Amino acid sequence: MQLRGSTVLITGATGGLGAAIARALHCEGASLVLTGRRTAVLEPLAQELGATAVAADLSDAADVQRLADEHADADVVVHNAALPASGPLDDFSLEELDRALQVNLRAPIALTRLLLPAMRERGRGHHVFVSSMSAKVPTADASLYAATKLGLRGFSQGLRPELGPLGIGVSTVFPGFIRDAGMFADTGVQLPPGVGTSTPEQVAAAVVRAIVRDRGEIDVAPLGVKASGVLNGLFPGVPARIAARVDGGRVGSEMAAAQKVKR
């Protein structure tokens, strides 16, 4: 799909990863609609890129409906917004659990459904879901987060052959550990030796490639992390057991503790 001249709606644009995606799409000539909760961050980015800033809380179904109503002309949607949702399951209240499900899973599904009639009428469009390698290699202390990201993968895999004949592309991008910006970087947790990271710009480049080349899935991670995803598909649970032996579950527990403070 040609990005130049297209209108792209990006959710979660106030995070470092969302900003990198926005800048990459801007460089491709797209007109941007940036959404997020923190207007103090959103508005300067929108001014920098000549974009439209829209304050929205995706845990609020009314805000999701408003986005769809006001921006039905979006040719492309990058579903990037997500809550960390890391930690042992019994650390979450039901309210926190519901909020994670609303933002990470319900909102992208609902927004896709609400924008579908306009895309179908135009005979073109593209949805990109920013998932996580946690969808392919779930680990302890991240069951809720992994469930939401795996849900996105199942949704997009089923949706792609459904919408393809209508001229609407569907892609999923799976970032691993991202340095410099994003949920992992915000925790400050140190990874074990040999576990590599990627940059926000690499994720942004994958989003562009997914749209332009109509790619179904793209992993953004070093080879070892990608291989663990393949291994887990063949032998479920083995990579998690290996990781537990290497670091004793330190990374997962430290990330969960850091993210709990921010919930």
Which of 45, 256, 63, 46 shows the shortest CA–CA distance to 143? 256
10 Å CB burial of residue 119 (0-12, 13-18, 19+) is buried
Instruction: Tell me what pLDDT residue 237 has.
Output: 85
Catalytic residues: 145
CA distance 139 to 8: 33
Residue type, 56: A
187-to-40, 90, 132, 180, 191 alpha-carbon distances in Å: 22, 21, 16, 11, 11
The H or E element spanning position 53 is strand 52-55
Question: Could you tell me the two tokens for 226?
Answer: 């990608």
pLDDT, tens digit (0-9, with 9 covering 90-100), for 88-131: 899 999 999 999 999 999 999 999 999 999 999 999 999 999 99
The tokens for 26 are 């801007």
**Structural domains for the chain:** 7-262 (3.40.50.720)
pLDDT of 205-215, one tens digit each? 999 999 999 99
HSE-CB of 142 using CA atoms within 13 angstroms: 27
pLDDT at 87: 86
DSSP of 129-182 = EE--GGGTS--TT-HHHHHHHHHHHHHHHHHHHHHGGGTEEEEEEEE-SBSSSS
Mean pLDDT of the chain: 90
Q: Is the pLDDT of residue 262 over 60?
A: no
Give which of 203, 205, 209, 149 is closest to 177, Cα–Cα.
203
Q: How far is the C-alpha of 171 from the C-alpha of 210, rounded, in Å?
A: 6
Res 263 pLDDT > 70: no
Q: What percentage of the chain carries pLDDT values higher than 90?
A: 68
In the predicted model, what is the mean pLDDT of residues 205-228? 94
Query: What's the CA gap between 196 and 209, in Å, rounded?
Result: 22
Averaged pLDDT, 138-161: 94
Q: Measured at the alpha carbon of residue 231, what is the angle toward residues 225 and 103, in degrees to the nearest 5? A: 60
